[in-house]
Structure 1
């Protein structure tokens, strides 16, 4: 991909997740209640896993004039513009609006929120549209 635009989770967010995992792990050792230990340990594992995912699948989405490249835990998927389409999906839950970017290619659907992209999905769609033309 020549001069791709790329989006990934913000490094500060990954750092906060790793710090939270460390705090939860320390809490698991310092807490006297057995059930509290289990909850702290589960929180530490979940935060560490999410942070590791944010570190390993960078960039999550990349695009250039040829098409898009999506990095997942299972590997990298590349699609040309003729086979990929992107659109926004807005939902309202619990009184809060949420916008996601959906990229479909064949029978595969990839859904990205602002956490995965590190940017507003609307801005990413604008950049993808500019690259596509």
Structure 2
């Protein structure tokens, strides 16, 4: 990471809340199992596994995106992906779902497309795009 001085990751407080919610749901699973509520135990267990997976993802894949003079490093569940500035295409995309606009930063290189939202980056994707554009301009000039 030394070659990537600028990085973005989910905010720590969001990850901590996800872990706390996972523990709370675990207590709910135990409580419901003791009470004999099979359906509630299963549903609460599924919620616990989902939130726990998100918490683990936010903990292990830090930083999600890093940039420096050499290019971009993106961490995903499939591993780390390195792209030079010449091969990485960056763009912002706005998607409307359920009456709400959501903004994402897309990093494309060849057949790979990585999509980062506000939770992944811990910041507004527009601000991240501004920094990446400046770094790319400095590196290519």
| TM exceeding 0.5 | yes
Separation (CA, whole Å) in 2 of partners of 1:128 and 1:121: 10
Partner-residue secondary structure (3-state), 1:79: strand
Which moves more between the two structures, 23-32 or 94-103?
23-32
Partner of residue 101, structure 1: 105
Task: Find the counterpart in structure 1 of residue 11 from structure 2.
Answer: 10
State the SS of the aligned residue for 2:86.
Answer: coil
Correspondence for 2:83: 79
Q: CA RMSD in A?
A: 1.0
User: TM-score, structure 1 length as denominator?
Assistant: 0.96
- Which has the higher Rg, Structure 1 or Structure 2? 2
1:3 Cα deviation (Å)?
A: 5.2
C-alpha displacement at 1:130, in angstroms? 0.6
Gaps of 5+ in 1: none
What is the rounded CA distance, in whole Å, between the counterparts of 2:27 and 2:109 in structure 1?
Answer: 44
SS of residue matched to 2:19: helix
Selected match of 1:131 from 109, 117, 135? 135
Give the gaps of 5 or more residues in structure 2. Answer: none
Residues paired across the two proteins, number:
133
- State the shift of 1:85 in Å: 0.8
TM-score with structure 2 setting the length:
0.91
| 2:4 and 2:66 in contact (8 A); partners too | no
Partner of 1:28: 29
Q: Which residue of 50, 57, 60 corresponds with 1:56?
A: 60
> What secondary structure is seen at the aligned counterpart in 2 of 1:54?
helix
Q: What SS class does the counterpart of residue 105 from structure 2 fall into?
A: strand
Structure 1 moving runs of 4+ over 6 Å: none
